[in-house]
Chains A and B, each alone.
Chain A
């Protein structure tokens, strides 16, 4: 390994990073994830920590760009230079730039994350069959709205699992329109546009207006590349047009004719000879995770290695199951030392804590577990190898006895609210609360009485220590029969709890055990700036958290969203 002259390194271990823009090649959540995993490669073997900032100046500013992208080292079109980064220091030092004339994937071809549909954001499964025909890319077949979609399993007709593919008709990214889809036609500088355009920009990115008149509204976003879109050339983002004519001959697929480097290309109109519109055909692409892990090595102070299998070797090669080479580890630990503190150890059974006798107002239920005073002990772990960090979304997240609890499919994990210990578990729900079903939609602790309320579907249970009341119907609380489930619960003051469902919430009075008059209210009206379809809402350390998918929106006491982040990294401490 080599370090830069003078062993350039960060003088602090809590390094910050910020993603300034995205590539149209992959969904922004996949790009976020690739960068986060690339940083984890280095934090796993050093005392370094990496915190993502969403505004202001971070140590490592990450951006995508093409050709001349604002520093003295221009990129060179497709292939060749993939990315570069600067050694630690002020200003541009420490920054990492990625060439967006490359095709960014995870190293094995298109990674197409779906949106909407019924597959909860799962990636497309290629090939998939639909109506007996096999597809290796998204299709608009079967739809009249021209939206590209795909199946997320091999057989759509059997599983009926599908989602929508990246399309400017569905959403845009970056810009100033909060991801709103394009509006066609739109007016720009007096001209009308029926598709995304690079007009008005020098950086070659395709954009569109998200209202019909950009000149008036100035609302715009960048167009995601469709999975069949060409790379580079002079038609970035356009799909191949088959057949197309080249040198008088007709082609029904990509070809390397006309080139000396063997790269596959296609025409994006029916006649290349006339229109000269072309691009490279999507290939395996370059793994953004691997290239980013390499570039972040530079941004931390490592220069190139001459060990062919090392991550810091200058040339790119795809590795399926990546692990850091000894040479890289020695290099980074020469600069920052090894990871401090003990490795995570499986949770030991806690000393039992007692909880109060059942409250006299609760009639005991035939399923009452025991008569003697209840001893709440930490449940035994079910399978410590099951990693909570593998889950994208949890059934519910809540705070019990001050600690975060993550519930999923009959198990739960705990994250102590003190120290920087990671999550403990998994534990079995049925061992702690035998009466409960495997899927918990929401839960909350009524702190003054230490009662635990659990909601699943249209039923709820109330645990006091080991004795349980329920299941009872949520209609007993005064919720309308139209409410199929309670998705979030938020303690408010001593004896009030907000219960969330869809875009509405009700206020439950724990004393009267019924919802107050004047409800439901609209979540968006009262909690501005959070997703209206959050599937989890909870209070933690003075903030309110709204979770959707793998992200959380944190709201402070002044009802301002002061942070958006990853459940996995910021709360579950992965």
Chain B
């Protein structure tokens, strides 16, 4: 078996840059849709709140409430959706 050709990823001009790590994507998603407060938090505290926020999001989306950034959760975060927050604020 030949080694899979390593895909070269390029940044396309004019694209709304979205090359984020999964963690960055999750953090942005949870804040944008009202699951997590947007003000900054200390390291430890933010871990707790992220897990809590993830569980809230997983419940809203009908996913298994693991509090982890697992594959189904990440897929759901990439799925096209409405821009209105899920947690009224």
Contact = CB atoms under 8 A, between A and B. Distances in A.
Contacts of B88: 2, 4-5, 303
Interface string B8-33: 11101111101100000000000001
Interface stretch (A79-87, A189-197, A354-362, A377-385): A79-87
Interface stretch (A173-181, A256-264, A467-475, A530-538): A256-264
Interface string A74-113: 0111011111110000000000000101100000000000
Nearest to A306: B60
A197 to B, nearest CB: 15
A314 interface: yes
Give the interface size class of chain B.
20 to 34
B81 A276 contact: no
Contacts of B82: 81-84, 291, 294-295, 298, 304, 314-316
A232 interface: yes
A298 B88 CA distance: 12
A158 interface: no
B8 to A, nearest CB: 6
A67 interface: yes
Contacts of B15: 77, 232-234
Contacts of A427: none
Interface in A465-499: none
A265 interface: yes
B76 to A, nearest CB: 7
A79 B82 CA distance: 10
Contacts of A232: 15
B43 interface: no
B80 A314 contact: no
Contact of B16 (A76, A247, A257): A76
Contacts of B16: 67, 76-77, 101
A5 B86 CA distance: 12
B14 A306 contact: no
Contact of A80 (B10, B18, B86): B18
A315 B83 contact: no
Nearest to A246: B10
A306 B62 contact: yes
B12 A265 contact: yes
B52 to A, nearest CB: 17
A322 interface: no
B39 to A, nearest CB: 17
B60 A314 contact: yes
Interface in A398-413: none
A220 interface: no
B61 interface: yes
Contacts of A260: 7, 9, 19
B79 A315 contact: yes
Contacts of B8: 247, 257-258
B88 to A, nearest CB: 5
Contacts of A82: 80-83
A80 B88 CA distance: 20
A12 interface: no
A10 interface: no
A286 interface: yes
Contacts of B84: 84-85, 298, 303-304, 314
Nearest to B17: A77
A158 B80 CA distance: 42
Nearest to B16: A77
A316 B79 contact: yes
Contacts of A102: 80
B13 A276 contact: yes
A308 interface: yes
A303 B8 CA distance: 42
Interface string A275-307: 010100000001000010011001000011011
Nearest to A257: B7
A260 B13 CA distance: 15
Given A5-B88, A258-B10, A79 B83 contact: no
Contacts of B59: 306
A87 to B, nearest CB: 9
Nearest to A258: B10
Interface in B44-66: 59-62
Interface of B: 7-10, 12-16, 18-19, 33, 59-62, 76, 78-84, 86, 88
9 residue pairs, one from A and one from B, having the closest CB atoms: A234-B14, A77-B16, A84-B83, A81-B83, A315-B81, A258-B10, A316-B80, A315-B79, A314-B81
29 contacts: A5-B88, A79-B80, A81-B81, A82-B80, A82-B82, A83-B83, A84-B84, A99-B83, A232-B15, A233-B12, A234-B12, A234-B15, A247-B8, A257-B8, A258-B7, A258-B10, A259-B10, A278-B14, A294-B82, A295-B82, A303-B88, A306-B61, A306-B62, A314-B60, A314-B86, A315-B76, A315-B79, A315-B80, A316-B82
Given A233-B12, A234-B14, A315-B81, 17 more contacts: A81-B83, A82-B83, A232-B15, A233-B15, A257-B7, A259-B10, A260-B7, A276-B12, A294-B82, A303-B88, A304-B84, A314-B33, A314-B81, A314-B86, A315-B76, A315-B79, A315-B82
